[in-house]
Each structure stands twice: as structure tokens, then as C-alpha cells.
Amino acid sequence: MKKPSFYMLLFFLVFCGALAGCAASSTSSSGSDAGSDDVLYQVSTLNALMQGVYDGEITFDQLTKEGDLGIGTFDGLDGEGIVLDGKVYQVRADGKAVQADGSGKTPFAVVTDFEADEQVQLSNINDLSQLQTELDKLLPNPNMFYAFKVEGTFKYVKTRSVPKQNKPYPPLAEVTKTQPTFEFHDVKGTLVGFWCPSFARDVNLPGYHLHFLTADREAGGHLLECSMEEGTVSVDTTTGFHMILPQNEHFAQVDLGHTQEEEIEKVEQ
Ligand SMILES: [Zn+2]
């Protein structure tokens, strides 16, 4: 919220630099006032992932240097990823979570160094739509990026994962047609993820994108639905944006000139 024009400029500089193949290799510093931790660090673009650019680009050891909370996927689209407290959890197609190897690579991920700017308690949330309405109240600026952590007791959670793909990689919408889904009842766990502004639609998902991990860290996935008895919501305003683009052939060949709105709907629900 401080000096938005500066951060927009930073966003475009990093974005344009990355497009030109000269992305800054150092951790971007977002200046003196907001602190360098308020940077959303993203690997690749959602459009590229949707078009099947599934080859891992950045190792999880590298990724977790850039942020301790976030979401993503794995080389070959081998499951849904949750980064929590600096550890990476991989929810494979059987719904079970394992801690991922730091040398593994991600084709798409978003992380930030999470420091809560605000915390609120919620109770009796009947569904995901109501949860989002409550989270909306914590977003004063629709042109900003926000990171979320929701630690709660859930009456119900529904997630999905995706099975590892072989080359030639099919588009994400093909994969999610037969996505395995999982249901949890009376479970403690954590939702992690982001809210992205509408202008980010060419590189990420506008609105909410949340993943779930059970408190025992043994299961989870990409969140499809939930109802929450009670929980603590922490939100971190993220004023900087740093994007790393894949250097592989496949990324060089896909057409990223238009946002696939309908396809996004299909793959996120
Ligand atoms: Zn997801």
C-alpha cells in the first residue's frame, strides 16, 4: 500500500527483464519501507502450466530460500504442493502428503516470506464461498497481492490432486477432467495460498487459490470446498512481485498471448 507506483514499476521491470531473458538473479529488494520479505516470488506462469509446461525449473531448495509459505506443483505435474513453515509437502494422486525432496524441481510455484499483517478469528463458516466473503473483508486494496494462512478445525474439506504426466504433456484441462478428489471430515489443518488481483490474469489466477494440508501433514491437496468450525486467518500484504520464467524449449513454443478464462475455470474447480 505504500508507494504503489514504485512497486508497480518494480513489477514491470522484473517482468520485462524476465521476458527479455535477463531476470535478476538476486533476491529482489522491495526498498526501504515495506521490507524485502513482502515479495511474491513466482515460478513460470499459470497459462504456461495450463498449456502443459510441466518440466521442473527451480529446485525446492532454491524456492524455499525465496519464501516459507506458498503453493505449487512438481516436475511432470506430480501432485499438488504446499509450502508451510519452510517445508514443502507433496500431495500425490492418492491424496497422501509426503515431504518433498529439496533437490526436486517445480514447473510452477508461488511463495512468500510470510509475516502476518493482520489476524482474525472466524467461526461457523458454512462453505468456501462464505470463507471467501470473510477473507474479502481483509483485502482493502483490490490491486494488491495477498498471502493467506488459515489454521482451523474443519467440519468438511474437499481437495483434489493430479497424477504425474508423461511426455508429450497434455494440457492441464485434460488432466483435471479425471482428477482424483478427496474428502475430509472433522479435521484440523491449514489452508495456504494467495489472492491475486484481476490485472494478474495473464500470469496467475485472479482471486483466491488455496491448498490444504492436514495438521498431521499427511494429506491435503488443491482446495475445492470446505466448511470450518473455527479458525485463525492470517493475511500478509505482498507489495513486490518477482517472476522467474522457464528456460526450456516447451515454454519458448507455447502461445501465451491470451488468457484462457474458460480453461482456468475448468482447472481450478
Ligand atoms: Zn492449486
Q: Minimal CA–CA distance to 147: which of 159, 157, 135?
A: 135
CA 157 to ligand 1 centroid distance, Å: 14
Q: What is the CATH number of the domain that holds 9?
A: 3.30.1330.80
CA 268 to ligand 1 centroid distance, Å: 7
More confident residue, 24 or 93: 93
**Does position 3 have pLDDT exceeding 90, yes or no?**
no
Select the highest-mean-pLDDT range: 20-29, 33-42, 128-137.
128-137
The total of structural domains in the chain comes to 1
Residues within 5 A (CB) of ion ligand 1: 222
Q: What is the pLDDT of residues 233-268, one digit of tens each?
A: 999 999 999 999 999 999 999 999 877 677 777 787
**Domain span including residue 59:** 4-22+30-268
**Does position 25 have pLDDT exceeding 70, yes or no?**
no
Q: What is the pLDDT of residues 26-58, one digit of tens each?
A: 333 333 344 456 999 999 999 999 999 999 999
Confidence of residue 90 (pLDDT cuts 50, 70, 90): very high
- The β-bridge relationship of strands 39-43 and 240-244 is parallel
More confident residue, 59 or 201: 59
Q: What is the pLDDT of residues 182-220, one digit of tens each?
A: 999 999 999 999 999 999 998 999 999 999 999 999 999
Under 8 Å CB-to-CB from 69, ≥6 apart: which residues? 83, 84, 85, 111, 112, 113, 114, 147, 149, 192
Q: Are 109 and 81 in contact (CB under 8 A)?
A: yes
Q: Are 1 and 140 in contact (CB under 8 A)?
A: yes
pLDDT of 269: 74
Separation CA 49–CA 197 (nearest Å) = 19
**Does position 115 have pLDDT exceeding 80, yes or no?**
yes
CA 80 to ligand 1 centroid distance, Å: 6
CA 73 to ligand 1 centroid distance, Å: 8
